[in-house]
Amino acid sequence: MLRPAPIRRAAPLTRPAALAALFGVLATVLSAIGSGIPSLWGDEATSIMSAQRPLPTLFAMLGRLDAVHGAYYLGLHFWGELFGFSPVSVRLPSAIAVGLATAAVVLLAARLRDVRTAVVAGLVCAILPRVAYMGEEARSFAFSAAIVAWLTVLLIAALDRDRPRAAWFAGYGALLAVGTYVFLYTALFAIVHGVIVAVSRAPRRTIRGWLIAVGAAILATAPLLIVAIGQHHQIAYLGAVQQLAPQTLFSGLWFGDSWPLAIAAWALIGVAVVTEARRRALVARAAGGGLFFGSGTRLPSLVPLALLWLVLPPAILIAVQSVVPDFTARYVSFCAPAAALLIACGVDDLMRWRRWAGVVAGVLVLALCVPVYVAERTPYAKNQSDWAEVSAAIGANAHAGDGVVFDESTKPSKLPRLAEHTYPAGFAGTKDIALDLPFAQTTSWRDSVYTVRQAAALGRFDGVGRVWLIEYAASPGSVDDYGVADLAALGFHETSTRIATHRELISLYERTP
């Protein structure tokens, strides 16, 4: 039978701080390793192209769409100005953010439980599939995870003081506001933390300071909230696509669609929750206490805090999904650190029962994470995108002055022409025949383009003897005939040069003399 974990005093601050720094660096390195291997995909193309805009046109675009990602695009703009927009460069900030999130996880585990749990939590968080995935993606999700983790660290610091300094609340409110601008759903953590504050034994001055901080953050982010409501149509498609399949909820949210890992992880989370419930019951009978807090302490227990962090934000989004489509697995990436904390607590509880059982469980979880980690760093891991391969094929075969025609018939996030913007080197010296206005001159994140027939009427094919047609293939052999008839009408015939990449078919057309 599992023995309830006794309450242990936190390790000295210097030791958890050193551990936090160590695991933060480890998580950053793990996320960065191999990050340049997967081809960039649609959402990342949006990030890169938005960040490459001149600032005036970026702000003009945000007034029309994607305002909820504006702070991230702005940060990536300045990052790219310094370090370029290569796949490794644009993904590195997310790896750093994962390191910050992992460091916060270690601090929380050490402060609310013990160093051993902190070590296990750091290891799990560094390689947990959802965390490792967002650490190699040029989107804002890793930053939202880091921000909510450090918000929680600040909250715990405030609850542990009789008279928290105003700087604590100022920092909390500022970080909550910044986090909301980075990713809108970060605001949900005002509710998560509100539950903790409501059941705490914190002095009234602490509760009042927290409420003022949250109120100030809400006021500061009100412009974003208003604009976001007006732009909600951008994610209306979430209501037409199945987002709540059992596999998504059980394994896809945090465990990378790996059923073995999900089973092991949920089993350990169950061990942590059941053991904590028994311990809470024993403490309540012996000396008083509640679900979150034991007797003689004003700090919450780690398990209920992490469980609230893990469950409440997805529950809120799922509850309103049928009315306002707002949920997809990636939107709750910021809950992944809580999963790592709960898994670590489960491993620690097993070690208290039988040391070998805890060691086996911990090694098993880490071992099951490895295949998912490796799979996330394969060439087509990002939504099956193969734009790096497309660019390499054009670069190896095209001649200076060759024209390129892109299939414009597929969904925006999979348009082959995005290869030209994410991997431009291969297209150097070629002519984008159908281009009307480049994305930086539009109010959309995409180029404005002509059809093949419109481009021909404008003389875009004049003097062009060779054209590369790049068609999207949803599956092998499923390419359509976009532009083929119009090219034939212009005197172009298909040659024997056909290059099949993972998701595209590249065909060379030459003009009949």
Does the pLDDT of residue 128 top 60, yes or no?
yes
Average pLDDT over residues 404-423: 95
- Top mean pLDDT of 157-161, 298-302, 469-473 is at 469-473
Nearest residue to 338 via CA among 372, 304, 297: 304
Task: State the residue for tokens 């720094």.
Answer: 21
Q: Lowest mean pLDDT of 10-24, 79-93, 210-224, 490-504, name the range.
A: 10-24
**pLDDT score recorded for residue 130:** 97
Question: In DSSP terms, which residues pair with 505 in a beta bridge?
Answer: 471, 500
- Gap between the Cα atoms of 61 and 443, Å rounded: 5
DSSP annotation of 65 reads S
**pLDDT score recorded for residue 233:** 76
Nearest residue to 129 via CA among 316, 377, 348, 384: 377
Task: State the residue for tokens 């491993």.
Answer: 347
* Residue 10: band (very low, low, confident or very high) from pLDDT cuts 50, 70, 90: very low
DSSP annotation of 107 reads H
Question: What are the backbone dihedrals phi and psi of residue 403, each rounded to the nearest 5 degrees, phi first?
Answer: -90, 155
Q: Are 128 and 254 in contact (CB under 8 A)?
A: yes
Greatest alpha-carbon pair distance for the chain in Å reads 95
Nearest residue to 487 via CA among 496, 5, 474, 460: 460
Q: Are 95 and 136 in contact (CB under 8 A)?
A: yes
**pLDDT score recorded for residue 267:** 98
Does the pLDDT of residue 268 top 80, yes or no?
yes
Nearest residue to 90 via CA among 54, 142, 131, 24: 142
The string of pLDDT tens digits covering residues 453-507 is 999 999 999 999 999 999 998 776 677 789 999 999 999 999 999 999 999 999 9
Of residues 296 and 501, more confidently modeled: 501
Average pLDDT over residues 288-293: 56
The string of pLDDT tens digits covering residues 331-385 is 999 999 999 999 999 999 999 999 999 999 999 999 999 999 999 999 999 999 9
- Gap between the Cα atoms of 46 and 58, Å rounded: 12
- How much is the mean pLDDT over the chain? 92
Does the pLDDT of residue 185 top 70, yes or no?
yes
Does the pLDDT of residue 445 top 90, yes or no?
no
- Gap between the Cα atoms of 75 and 143, Å rounded: 11
Question: In DSSP terms, which residues pair with 90 in a beta bridge?
Answer: none
- Gap between the Cα atoms of 55 and 497, Å rounded: 42
Task: State the residue for tokens 């078919």.
Answer: 505
**pLDDT score recorded for residue 457:** 97
Residue 357: half-sphere exposure toward Cβ, Cα within 13 Å: 13
Tokens of 288: 């008083």
The string of pLDDT tens digits covering residues 34-73 is 999 999 999 999 999 999 999 999 999 999 999 999 999 9
